[in-house]
Amino acid sequence: MIDDSNNILDTFNQYAKTFESLNPLSVLSFYHYPAILISPDKVVTVKNWIEGFVVFTAVMAELKFRGYAYSETESLSVDQLSDRLATVKGIVIRFKENRQKLERFGLAYTMRRENDGWKIVVGALYELETSA
């Protein structure tokens, strides 16, 4: 297996930066379809770009309403499982313009290498345990 972890991480970081624009169309090319999106509240299967546009329009509208401005990531790691499959794990902190924290959660993304690069197949967001 050829180590492609730098390209995997670069793709994920490009996705994260693109997501900050809150433009649903701009993130769709980062996904392989069908894709699965998992949050603490629900699981959504996204069959194509049209469904992706609908899902991300709703997600991004809600973030705009809450005053979202940008995200920071912590503890990002890549586990390349094969030449064509990898996971990216880490922590995301979302902020408002004034650096007030909106939320903090864990992420685990499964990515697959296609002819045009690494694509997200499964995006899972999860609640982090609070330390006592």
- pLDDT the model gives residue 132: 52
Q: Are 112 and 80 in contact (CB under 8 A)?
A: no
The overall pTM is greater than 0.85: yes
- Residue spans of the domains in the chain: they are 5-126
- pLDDT the model gives residue 68: 97
The alpha-carbon radius of gyration of the chain (Å, integer) is: 15
Task: Give the residue ranges of the chain where pLDDT is below 70.
Answer: 131-132
Task: Answer whether CATH 3.10.450.50 is correct for domain 5-126.
Answer: yes
Q: List beta partners, residue 120.
A: 31, 111
Neighbours of 44 (CB within 10 A): 17
Chain segment 88-114, per-residue pLDDT in tens: 999 999 999 999 999 999 999 999 999
Distance CA 15, CA 31 (A): 10
- pLDDT the model gives residue 130: 74
